[in-house]
Amino acid sequence: MTPALTQIVEVPQVLDRCRGLVRPALRAAVDRLHPWVGEMAAYSFGWCEVGGASAAASGGKGVRQALAVLGAEAVGAPARAGVPAAVAVELLHTFSLVHDDIMDGDTARRGRATAWKAYGTGPAVLAGDALFALAVETLADTGHGPAAVRLTARALGDLVRGQADDLLFAERPWAGPGRVRPAEYRAMAEHKTGALLGCALGLGALLGGAPAAAVDALDRAGRHVGIAFQVVDDVLGIWGDPAVTGKPVHADLRERKKTYPVLVALDAPGLAQLLETGDRPAEAAALIEEAGGRTAAVTEARRHLDAAQASLDEVPLETAALHELRRLLDFLVRRDL
């Protein structure tokens, strides 16, 4: 049963409630895997160490799990209707992280070795493939299997498209006709980040028995908030507090990432040359801010948050769950801005 609207529910409570509902089903799904592959999957979730010993590592906030559960509750279904959607999306998200870490060469995630670094590249690819297959199986076993798989396939296709664009952006020049434009970046962010957030909300609604209009509206809301979330990450990647982000200040500039604040400020004299070398990040950050890059990024994030909230207004939704969902979307975007 969803909480009464008069009860003020903080976002951490919402996340805890949804994780508590989803965790047993998620663990049961992973337990069906081959023992060695299952260990690598459990390691990726932060449940165990290499070798299988229990771990106290954080498995993340469970945002996508919460979106799936709230998606079901928002269309008037019980929370349990959204649990298979939450399990599937969490499996897919972890699959994407395992493979992303291999593609990016990242050796650490959440304070410990990534799966490929801990187990090897081949085994990590295998674990990612197993998580993907398990997600599809989870959805196929529901009463809405074909529609759920179609919705998920669309999201995964978009995720791959976004990841491909993100990788290709790194090879494009900082200046001239071939440079990355802000509109291209927005499309990449919707695909890479927004597609899975929209999928979580839409799948929860679909498994809750919602009509197509509600599923589509919730999917759009998730996609908009994904763009906003990514742009906020970009702001924090340049100006964020290292104690909060876990990365040194100006980290994204040192890595020469083509992020939204940078792209909207590229006409500033001398900026492209500074970014090309990447060896004076503080000077580049000051120039980006002076050219309006930081302000434009914050405005863009808030614009997409507003669009996400407007999408929720397009269809009738259950009041208490909608209240929690709005608070969660706002929480995702307004981090330390």
pLDDT (0 to 100) of residue 43: 97
The predicted pLDDT at position 246 comes to: 73
Closest CA to 189 of 222, 213, 218, 215: 222
pLDDT value for 242: 85
pLDDT at 336: 58
Q: What's the confidence (pLDDT) of residue 5?
A: 39
Q: In the chain, at which residue ranges do the beta strands (DSSP E only) sit?
A: 108-109, 112-113
List the end-to-end C-alpha distance of the chain, in Å, as a whole number. Answer: 34
Q: Are 272 and 174 in contact (CB under 8 A)?
A: yes
Question: How far apart, in whole angstroms, are the C-alpha atoms of residue 53 and residue 48?
Answer: 5
Do residues 39 and 52 lie in contact, with contact meaning Cβ atoms separated by under 8 Å?
A: yes
Q: Can you spell out the DSSP letters for 126-194?
A: HHHHHHHHHHHHHHHTSTTHHHHHHHHHHHHHHHHHHHHHHHHHTTS-SSSTTSPPHHHHHHHHIIIII
Instruction: Return the pLDDT at 4.
Output: 38
As averages over each run of 10 residues, the pLDDT of the chain (337 residues) reads: 50 95 97 98 96 82 95 98 98 96 91 95 98 97 96 96 95 95 97 97 98 98 97 94 81 92 96 90 96 97 97 97 95 76
- What is the per-residue pLDDT across 191-244, written as a single tens digit (0 to 9) for each? 999 999 999 999 999 999 999 999 999 999 999 999 999 999 999 999 998 877
- pLDDT (0 to 100) of residue 2: 39
**Which amino acid does the sequence have at 207?**
L
Looking up tokens 């979580």, which residue turns up? 200
